[in-house]
Amino acid sequence: MSAGLIGCMTTPAQGSMIPPAAEYACDNGKFGQGWPGHDAWYAWLKRTVQRYGPGRCLWAVAPDVPFDAAGTLSESLPWLARIRALGIPAAFAAQDGCDLLGLPWNDFDVLFLAGSTEWKIGPAAERLAREAQARGKSVHMGRVNSLRRMGIAEWFGCDSADGTYLAFGPDKNLPRLLRWVDELDRHPSLFAAVHADARATGHTVIDTPPSWLIHPKPHPGATLSTNANTGAPPGPDGRYVHGHAVLHLTDQLNASESYEHAAALTDQVLHPTDGLLERLSDFFEAAAEKAKDSELDDGFDLYDDFEDAAAAVRGLGEDLHMAVDRIRALGSPPRPSQQPHAADHGAAVTALPPQPASPATSPGRSR
Lowest-pLDDT range of 37-51, 110-124, 218-232, 337-351:
337-351
User: By three-state DSSP, how is residue 365 classified?
Assistant: coil
Residue 334: the pLDDT is 62
66: amino acid identity, one letter: P
pLDDT band at 195 (very low <50, low <70, confident <90, very high): very low
| Nearest to 167, CA basis, from 49, 44, 321 | 321
Q: How far is CA 115 from the centre of its chain?
A: 11
More confident residue, 6 or 158: 158
pLDDT of residue 299: 83
What is residue 45's predicted lDDT score, i.e. its pLDDT?
A: 96
**Cα angle at 180 between 176 and 183, to 5 degrees?**
135
Residues 14-40: tens digit of each pLDDT: 766 888 888 899 999 998 777 999 999
Please choose, from the candidates 158, 141, 155, the residue with its C-alpha nearest in 3D space to the C-alpha of residue 206: 141
- Least-confidence region, from 74-88, 155-169, 347-361: 347-361
As a whole number of angstroms, the distance between CA 236 and CA 233 comes to 9
Q: How far apart are CA 296 and CA 116, in angstroms?
A: 41
Is it the case that residue 84 has pLDDT exceeding 90?
A: yes
Q: For residue 58, what pLDDT is reported?
A: 94
What SS3 state is found at 39?
helix
Cβ atoms of 180 and 153 within 8 Å: the answer is no
What is the secondary structure of 192-243 as a DSSP string? Answer: --SSHHHHTTT--EEE---GGGSPPPPPTT-----HHHH-----TTS--HHH
Please, what is the Cα angle at 349 between 194 and 82, to 5 degrees? Answer: 40
Backbone angles phi, psi at 126, to 5 degrees: -65, -45
How large is the average pLDDT for residues 185-207? 38
| Contact status, residue 52 vs residue 8, Cβ threshold 8 Å | no
Residue 171's pLDDT is 77
Q: Is 44 in contact with 9 (CB distance < 8 Å)? A: no
